[in-house]
Structure 1
Amino acid sequence: MGALQKTIWKLWYPFVTRRLQGEDVLFLNYAFETDPPLGIPLSAADEPNRTCIQLYHHVASQAEWRGKQVLEVSCGHGGGASYLARTFGPARYTALDLNPAGIAFCNKRHQVAGLGFLQGDAENLPFTDAEYDLVMNVEASHCYPDFARFLDEVARVLRPGGYFLYADFRFHHDIAKWEAQLAACPLKLVKSEVIDQAVLRGMELNSARYLALLNKTLPRPLRGIGREFAGLEGSLVHRALLNGGMSYRSYCFLKE
């Protein structure tokens, strides 16, 4: 199933990138909003993507970034990488994704000092041991056929004293395995948080905008799949978060 799963995602994400050409879609993750609203200051250019940016901000703010060497694994369309590189002050930010069409989009769209994009595999990171102070991974690991191998790769490329900043979800039947794999990884857990309600608020705030985008860019037979992928109100993911069939969590791990 692992190889098939990887093949499906390798086909789906380039397809999505091609369908969204011309729409300037910078984020492929769900969203995050607190109650009361988080209210981080954003530029006018960033404001339309506030809820997606806030998910990145929530995860990233668990560690100090200034002057650090940072790797983001599975950067999507690069909106989070651009925001963090501009806002959190890393010395260098490398953003990697398996989707070559997405990387081509990122290299064209995001011109930020110290930020670079490259194509690569999360389970076989093309970096030397102990190269990074921080590794960032947002809402991508549920697509990886071998999550434990990814965790080993994160630990390998992190320097001692470095942090792995992570957020993702699992459906109820996969949570025990997920928790066991995280517990077995060669990193120390510093903090974890269930963020279901904040993600739900973000989804609901984005639903109308995403529905209009899907109806504009996808052929009718694929719109149902698109609604699930985008996490619109009433989608499987949205309903699962509402009824406890899924859990969305954020984590901070330390390499001792």
Structure 2
Amino acid sequence: MPTEPVVERTRSAYAALDEAFVKAGLDGHAHFLNWGYEPVPGLADNALPGLVRPGSNETSERLVAELVGPVSLDNLRMADIGCGRGGALDVILRRFHPLSATGLDLSADNIAGARRLLAGRRVRLQVADACAVPLADASQDIVLNLESSGAYPNMGAFLRHVRRVLVPGGLFLHGDLWPAELVDPLIETMEEMGFALESLRDVTRQVCRARDRMPAGLMARLAGSRGAAEVQDYFAAPGSAMYDCLDRGSIAYLLCRWRRGEDRVGSADTAVLQERAARIEELLEEARASLAERSEWFPFGGPRHGADVNILAFPHAVAGASAFKNWQAQFPRDWQVSPVQLPGREGRIAEPPFTTLSAAVEALMPRVRPYRDTPLVLVGWSLGSKIAFELARRLEHNDICQPLLVVAGVCPGPHQPLPDLSSFFGEDGMETRLRLLGGTPENILSSGEMLSALQTTMEGDTAMAASYRSEATIRAPMLALSATRDDLVSQEAVESWRPRTAGGFTHRRLEGGHFMARDDAAAVANVVREAVAARLNQDLRPVEVA
């Protein structure tokens, strides 16, 4: 049988996953394999109240409840094909009283877990292949299939079995991933097979929001011998290629309700359904390449379409993205803080630095443009403030978007030069200067070759600062921050940003020194958080420039 190798690979994968759950001490708690659902403000929900219990499985239970939606399963015959470890059946049997309940799954380990969870319940559980469903014709009123069909070697055969076992007028509740460009062909094929679409919901954002709530360290506990990247994709962990595809919209998570038609239908061409797995793998490969390149610029996590707000942070001269590494913890988890790594520092120390601010912004533009529809905040510190300002100016000038807020920390306005660093450092050598600036690992500070490379970076940053002057005015509002113990930039110099915005200007003076964005991250981040929250209450989306 040609599908046998695929079936065996699937069984093997589930067995390895079961072993991973046992080794991680999660076997007694891992009742669900689905990715979960977390409500997103402004997007409609569909779950019946009282179906979900608070707890560690809450988002997974919520996904089941959203798939069932307003449908009552009381006094009906229902089958969960691809029932996994029994979590969906548990949710259903707590709330409804079906006439009969059946759970089928290819994995013996999954069925064993379902039997433990559902012990004492009136439910039939059986190891079975979804492409050869061992249920009688017209024996079910409801067939449920959640996040399982992607592993089937013959989607057409599965759907024919679904139609066969459903009574005329019966419902097929289906939730799974589809490449965005194959959604319309899916609908056409299903209709040709004799199903009528009653409801289709794209819940990709809600699923991503649930993935954002994954416990820290869970993936490391589950990775084992299968490798972290494979496990992260399987669970769509934030930062994985699968999560990136969902966030960008190239793969959609759909919850569908189909009704079996009563008329007999001829044979339908299901070839397009077989394209799904190959196309998803192609999209994942594209995402992996994109993530590898993006991680160079955003080593602590890049911007996300599904975030409530994206905050790009630009550090002071010579410093790398790690100057802001402690900022994410200071913000709501649905806000994405993305410190920017320019060439010539930390993980990119071997790359030549920019010597003009224009070149830096030109390189950043294509990495920011895709997120124009998500509120954008640009935070700069010292030299980084001028990069943030020029990026904002360019985004507006090129009709891309108007940032929600631009933050300029301890920096003179763009029409003024940065302070002469030699007056601050005196005759100190390169190592001492870098220690004062901070963010440079000790192994680099003790390496003459690395110090030489950073000397080039410092020269590049100095040239970038010296060559940039602007008297432009941006539309975005600005928050300027000065520090009480800053020996480099005065309060008056920071105040000089005021005429550079037509969108409103606020100047806050903070207790600290020139490098407090790194040394007192919580204090600075708190001020930024309050300012962003105030702006979000006024503008829920970034202003599109006409």
TM-score with structure 2 setting the length: 0.44
* TM-superposed deviation, 1:141: 0.9
1:68-107 mapped onto 2 (5 Å cutoff): 68-107=76-115
2:248 aligned with 1:251, yes or no?
no
> What is the identity, as a one-letter code, of the residue corresponding to 1:140?
S
User: Number of residue pairs matched?
Assistant: 252
1:181 counterpart residue number: 189
- Is the contact between residue 102 and residue 125 of structure 2 (CA under 8 Å) also seen in structure 1? yes
1:91-170 mapped onto 2 (5 Å cutoff): 91-170=99-178
Match of 2:75 among 67, 71, 84: 67
More off after superposition, 227-236 vs 212-221:
212-221
1:234 counterpart residue number: 239
Gap runs ≥5 in structure 1: none
> What is the identity, as a one-letter code, of the residue corresponding to 1:65?
L
- Is the contact between residue 63 and residue 163 of structure 1 (CA under 8 Å) also seen in structure 2? no
- Is the contact between residue 191 and residue 253 of structure 1 (CA under 8 Å) also seen in structure 2? yes
Distance 2:51 2:177 in 1: 26
Gap runs ≥5 in structure 2: 263-546
2:403 counterpart residue number: none
Distance 1:104 1:92 in 2: 20
1:161-208 alpha-carbon deviations (Å, 9 max, x no partner): 2111111112346545534432322222111111111111111122xx
Distance 1:83 1:16 in 2: 22
Does the residue aligned with 1:198 lie in a helix, a strand or coil?
A: helix
* TM-superposed deviation, 1:13: 1.0
RMSD across aligned C-alpha pairs, in angstroms?
2.3
1:199-241 alpha-carbon deviations (Å, 9 max, x no partner): 11111122xx2x5233224326622211111111111111111
Q: CA, structure 1 residues 241+254, in 2 after alignment: closer, same or farther (shift >3 Å)?
A: same
TM-score with structure 1 setting the length: 0.89
* TM-superposed deviation, 1:77: 1.1
1:5 counterpart residue number: 6
Distance 1:86 1:176 in 2: 35
- Rg larger in 1 or in 2? 2
Does the residue aligned with 2:217 lie in a helix, a strand or coil?
A: helix
- Is the contact between residue 20 and residue 224 of structure 2 (CA under 8 Å) also seen in structure 1? no
2:18 counterpart residue number: 17
More off after superposition, 168-177 vs 113-122:
168-177
More off after superposition, 164-173 vs 241-250:
164-173
- % identical aligned pairs: 23
> What is the identity, as a one-letter code, of the residue corresponding to 2:203?
I
Distance 2:92 2:144 in 1: 10
* TM-superposed deviation, 1:10: 1.9
Higher relative contact order structure (alpha carbons within 8 Å, sequence separation ≥ 6): 1
Distance 2:58 2:252 in 1: 22
Structure richer in strand, relative to its length: 1
Distance 2:17 2:181 in 1: 27
> What is the identity, as a one-letter code, of the residue corresponding to 1:194?
D
* TM-superposed deviation, 1:80: 1.2
Does the residue aligned with 1:102 lie in a helix, a strand or coil?
A: helix
- Is the contact between residue 107 and residue 127 of structure 2 (CA under 8 Å) also seen in structure 1? yes
- Is the contact between residue 152 and residue 186 of structure 1 (CA under 8 Å) also seen in structure 2? no
> What is the identity, as a one-letter code, of the residue corresponding to 2:97?
G
More off after superposition, 34-43 vs 211-220:
34-43
> What is the identity, as a one-letter code, of the residue corresponding to 1:168?
D
Match of 1:30 among 25, 31, 35: 35
2:61 aligned with 1:56, yes or no?
no
